[in-house]
Amino acid sequence: MSDEIYDFTIIGAGPTGLFGAFYAGLRSLKTKVIEALPEPGGQLAVLYPEKMIYDVPGHPHVMARDLVKLLMEQNERFDPDYVYNESVETLTRDESGDEPVWVLGTPRGEHRTRALLISAGIGAFAPNKLDRPGVAKYEGNGVYYFVQDRRPFRHKRVLIVGGGDTAVDWCLNLRDWADEITLIHRREQFRAHESSLTELRLAEIPMLTHWELAEVSGNSVVERARIVQNQTDETRDLDVDIVLLSLGFKASLGPMLDWGLELADQRHIRVDGFMETNLPGVFAAGDIAAVEGSEPLSLIVTGFGQAAIAANAAVKHISPESKLFPGHSSDLRL
């Protein structure tokens, strides 16, 4: 690994990081993107590549994997460097040379940069597992925690467990794909967008509230699920082929907890209005960032805006004489 110093290094190749790389390119910053996964996309690639996304400006709807592809195509104009399968474990400041730089340590070596954007989503994450009879036995063979490929769901009877956006969105995305869908949620209230819930009700997909998964059973594959009403203890046996558990994820900042960053809590890095952390030239954007005086809003569109702010602020950090405002893209010679 060379000792080349980059202007702007981005940790995380999710949608926020990819758009940050584009905006850094607009500002003529030599940019590198470091991603722990073997491919770009972050949660979009790992958790729900075939999920439809409805709140990206200019796209009435776009599949997650297609959004990643479009973001990568957008970046081709500036050709940032990508490093995959590499996790950043340490962050140190080197002031021994002509200029201070940040040094990012990984198992493979070091990366040196004048400014840094942390866009690592929710950090290291793992699905919340459900400890019920049969769940672990059939995991990956009829029991799933996320959907990377819709093909196993074709013409199947599907039970979806959960009350957030992911559970509701998969009910909608699979309604014309699976033969039968049932949604159960342990509470009356859902955490999903109201517009999605309205669409779900119109789709006439059964929505059973105050019901929980009690057991999964079958022979070589899943054949039935027992559910229980948590207010009356009534039980039902449903004939199903697939159980999709959309129960959220455990997230951790992992090694970043030791970097000297000021945290809003154990999941969020505190930033100011320019998306800068308490460390000079270190910015954060997207799901991992908590803007001072505000509340984290974990939306792709929010991450896009924050990435643009961070990239422009990085220019100002590297060259204080530069303007923060980049000019309108339609006016730039691209």
pLDDT for position 111: 97
Lowest-confidence range among 16-20, 93-97, 118-122, 156-160? 118-122
Tens digit of each residue's pLDDT (9 = 90 or more) over 13-22: 999 999 999 9
pLDDT for position 161: 98
pLDDT for position 231: 97
For the chain, what is the HEC assignment? CCCCEEEEEEECCCHHHHHHHHHHHHCCCCEEEECCCCCCCCHHHHCCCCCEECCCCCCCCEEHHHHHHHHHHHHCCCCCEEECCCCCCEEEEECCCCCCEEEEEECCEEEEEEEEEECCCCCEEEECCCCCCCCCCCECCCEECCCCCCHHHCCCEEEEECCCHHHHHHHHHHCCCCCEEEEEECCCCCCCCHHHHHHHHHCCCCEEECEEEEEEEECCCEEEEEEEECCCCCEEEEECCEEEECCCEEEECHHHHHCCCCECCCCCEEECCCCECCCCCEEECHHHEEECCCCCCCCHHHHHHHHHHHHHHHHHHHCCCCCCCCCCHHHCCC
Q: How confident is the model at residue 148 (pLDDT cuts 50, 70, 90)?
A: confident
pLDDT for position 252: 72
**93: pLDDT strictly greater than 60:** yes
Tens digit of each residue's pLDDT (9 = 90 or more) over 164-201: 988 998 999 899 999 999 999 999 999 888 888 999 99
Structural domains of the chain sorted by starting position, each given as residue range(s) with its CATH number in brackets = 5-124+250-331 (3.50.50.60), 129-247 (3.50.50.60)
Tens digit of each residue's pLDDT (9 = 90 or more) over 260-313: 999 998 889 999 999 999 999 999 999 999 999 998 888 999 999 999 999 999
